[in-house]
């Protein structure tokens, strides 16, 4: 648990204050820590992405010493363990990962990686950190320290499931949260919009002489102005305490173009046409990206797998084609898959054997309907994962140390439980290594 809050800390000057807790390392100590020496010679090649197996902390440090990486990542999305104290299994009942860190230990685990991510981000880069309600408040303070409070952009609330009929003395838990920060004020931003709802459409109740549906909105706004917008237009002054939204010359042009409606009492209002509407800007509550909730949704079977449409919105909003996108808690590979399909390059990191096997499976064979996964006791269970989902030519680059580590994992798995590593060995044979 955090032991208190102090002001004017090393990084707290950026956010105004910082959390203090036992064994909190300085920024310099985090940056100087152990690197993954076998990756020092790593260079990205022309394929879609690069996948690394191992602890992301030394791997991130190593990437900082690559001139093609440091300051070149435009978007990082991470969905780290949520400090639940739980063990997670795949739908094949294979161990995926353990979420054992709690309190201050979890915060320092997360903070060290955020410091390295901040260094890897470009000046146009953004971070999306996905957590649940357990540590979201503490993580917000840590991010204010590392990124600066001025670079906080949003806390997004995501509806993750259908309503639950809880019997405990609390409200149903159907939300988790995504903290959105940018590295600077000049970050990539591509406006995302949704279609107009029926309620919005009802507002466009007028039809002009050309048959165009429109709504009528005031031409003035709150606040007194001393310039042109606070003066007279067509013999009228703006209402008391308000000003014109446009300069008189602009209002004249709107009127000449027929974009102003004059009421019988001589009150002007601007026409806003339905056919020119670019959609409703996305807000910070996302209701449409629940996790898999019916048998027909296609998944990999990896626990805590996120909705691809959720990642599609994030990747589109905060990166461009050709941008480098990173997920260093890659899990099932959703971020990597979506980024690749949208024309982005990517870096994936995970220390879970099951995660790496799942990502390899995803890129070679796609995903399967949730209802297609069967119990391990059933025959031919491995074949249930072979439903093809728009397979494409994909150059998955796996560096040598990953290949060797995976082979060792498969061998060790077979030693403990005969046949356990067979699926990974089969997948390794499907891939082309670079």
Residue 339 lies in a domain: yes
* Domain assignment present for 320: yes
For the stretch 281-333, pLDDT in tens is: 899 999 988 887 666 778 877 777 889 999 999 999 999 999 999 999 998 89
Which of 230, 258, 276 is the endpoint of a domain? 276
Our measurement of the distance from residue 93's CA atom to the centroid of its chain's CA atoms, rounded to an integer in Å, reads 27
Across the range 262-280, mean pLDDT stands at 88
Is a pLDDT exceeding 70 seen at residue 395? no
- According to the model, what pLDDT value does residue 17 have? 72
Q: Kindly state whether residues 237 and 315 are assigned to the same domain.
A: no
Q: What is the pLDDT of residues 324-378, one digit of tens each?
A: 999 999 988 999 999 989 999 999 998 887 788 788 778 777 777 776 654 443 3
Question: What tens digit of pLDDT does each residue of 145-195 get?
Answer: 999 999 999 999 999 888 877 667 888 888 999 999 999 999 999 999 887
Least confident of 83-92, 114-123, 333-342: 83-92
Residues 56, 93 within the same domain = yes
pTM value surpassing 0.95: no
CA 94 to CA 356: how far, in whole Å?
Answer: 13
For residue 358, give Cα distances in angstroms to 39, 75, 131: 22, 23, 22
Do 318 and 75 contact (CB within 8 A), yes or no? yes
b/e per residue, 90-110, with b = 16+ CB within 10 A? bbbebebbebebeebebbbeb
Q: What's the first-to-final CA gap in the chain, in angstroms?
A: 44
Same domain, 245 and 305: no
Asked whether residue 153 falls in the same domain as residue 136, the answer is yes
- Which of 231, 251, 276 finishes a domain? 276
Residues 68 and 211 in one domain: no
Other C-beta atoms within 10 Å of 237: how many?
13
423 and 322 within one domain: yes
Residue 122 pLDDT > 90, yes or no?
yes
pLDDT over threshold 60, residue 108: yes
Q: Rounded CA gap, 118 and 184, in Å?
A: 10
CATH code, 75: 3.40.50.150
Contact yes or no for 18/30 (Cβ under 8 A): no
Residue scoring higher pLDDT (241 or 302): 241
- With contact defined as beta carbons under 8 Å apart, do 10 and 26 qualify? yes
Clarify whether residues 127 and 261 are in a common domain. no
User: Which of 245, 276, 307 marks a domain boundary?
Assistant: 276
Check whether residue 265 and residue 167 sit in a common domain. no
pLDDT score of 354: 78
Residues 216, 351: Cα–Cα separation, whole Å:
57
Do the beta carbons of residue 221 and residue 243 sit within 8 Å? yes
pLDDT at 274: 87
In a domain, 75, yes or no: yes
Where residue 200 falls among pLDDT bands split at 50, 70, 90? confident
Q: What secondary structure letter does DSSP report for 164? A: -
Ordered alpha helix ranges (H), 163-307: 198-202, 248-256
Rg (CA), the chain: 26
The structural domain count of the chain equals 2
Same domain as 297, residue 157:
yes
Q: Are 322 and 190 in contact (CB under 8 A)?
A: no
Query: Both 272 and 323 in a single domain?
Result: no
Are residues 394 and 377 both part of a single domain?
Answer: yes
Residue 290 belongs to a domain: yes
Backbone angles phi, psi at 170, to 5 degrees: -165, 180
Task: Confirm whether 385 is domain-assigned.
Answer: yes
Is 406 inside any structural domain?
A: yes
Angle at 409 between CA 404 and CA 410, to 5 degrees: 100
pLDDT number for residue 232: 93
- The answer on 361 and 227 residing in a single domain is no
Provide the residue range defining the domain that includes 259.
Answer: 201-276
Report the candidate in 218, 256, 260 with the shortest Cα–Cα distance to residue 238. 218
Tell me the β-bridge partners of 18: 6
Q: Would residue 17 count as lying in a domain?
A: no
Report how far residue 192's alpha carbon sits from residue 270's, in angstroms, rounded to the nearest whole number: 25
Calpha distance 287→162 (Å, rounded)? 10
Residue 141's pLDDT band (boundaries 50, 70, 90)?
very high
pLDDT of 13-60, one tens digit each?
Answer: 444 677 888 889 999 999 988 877 554 333 334 457 888 888 899 989
Structural domain contains residue 183: yes
Report the pLDDT value the prediction gives residue 45, as an integer from 0 to 100: 41
Bridge partners for 159 per DSSP:
175
For residues 58 and 36, is the Cβ–Cβ distance under 8 A? yes
In this prediction, residue 125 carries a pLDDT of 98
The predicted pLDDT at position 335 comes to 95
Q: Is 147 helix (H, G, I), strand (E, B) or coil?
A: helix
């Amino acid at each position: 648990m955090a032991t208190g809050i102090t002001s004017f800390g090393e990084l707290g000057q950026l956010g105004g204050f910082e959390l203090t807790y036992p064994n909190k390392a300085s920024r310099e100590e985090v940056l100087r820590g152990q690197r993954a020496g076998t990756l020092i010679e790593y260079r990205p090649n022309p394929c879609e992405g690069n996948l690394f197996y191992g602890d992301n902390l030394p791997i991130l440090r190593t990437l900082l010493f690559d001139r093609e990486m440091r300051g070149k990542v435009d978007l990082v999305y991470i969905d780290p363990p949520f400090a639940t104290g739980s063990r997670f299994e795949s739908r094949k009942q294979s161990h995926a990962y353990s979420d054992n860190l709690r309190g201050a230990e979890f915060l320092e685990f997360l903070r060290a990686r955020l410091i390295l991510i901040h260094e890897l981000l470009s000046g146009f880069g953004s971070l999306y950190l996905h957590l649940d309600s357990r540590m979201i408040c503490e993580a917000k303070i840590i991010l204010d320290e590392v990124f600066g409070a001025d670079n906080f952009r949003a806390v997004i609330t995501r509806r993750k499931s259908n309503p639950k009929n809880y019997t405990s003395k609390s409200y149903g838990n159907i939300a988790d949260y995504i903290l959105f920060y940018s590295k600077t004020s000049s970050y990539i931003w591509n406006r995302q919009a949704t279609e107009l709802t029926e309620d919005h459409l009802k507002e466009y109740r007028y039809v002009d002489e050309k048959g165009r549906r429109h709504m009528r909105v005031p031409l003035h706004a709150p606040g007194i102005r001393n310039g042109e917008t606070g003066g007279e237009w067509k013999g009228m002054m703006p209402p008391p305490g308000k000003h014109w939204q446009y300069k008189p010359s602009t209002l004249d042009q709107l009127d000449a173009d027929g974009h102003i409606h004059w009421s019988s009492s001589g009150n002007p209002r601007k026409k806003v046409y339905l056919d020119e509407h670019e959609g409703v800007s996305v807000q910070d509550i996302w209701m449409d990206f629940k996790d898999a909730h019916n048998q027909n949704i296609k998944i990999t079977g990896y626990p805590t797998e996120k909705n691809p449409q959720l990642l599609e919105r994030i990747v589109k909003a905060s990166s461009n084609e050709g941008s480098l996108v990173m997920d260093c808690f890659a899990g099932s590979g959703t971020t990597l898959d979506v980024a690749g399909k949208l024309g982005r390059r990517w870096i994936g990191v995970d220390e879970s054997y099951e995660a790496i096997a799942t990502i390899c499976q995803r890129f070679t064979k796609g995903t399967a309907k949730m209802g297609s996964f069967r119990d391990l006791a059933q025959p031919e269970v491995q074949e249930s994962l072979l439903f093809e989902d728009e397979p494409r030519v994909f150059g998955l680059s796996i560096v040598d140390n990953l290949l060797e580590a995976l082979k060792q994992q498969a061998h060790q798995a077979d030693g403990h439980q005969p046949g356990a590593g067979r699926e990974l060995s089969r997948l390794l044979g499907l891939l082309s290594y670079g």
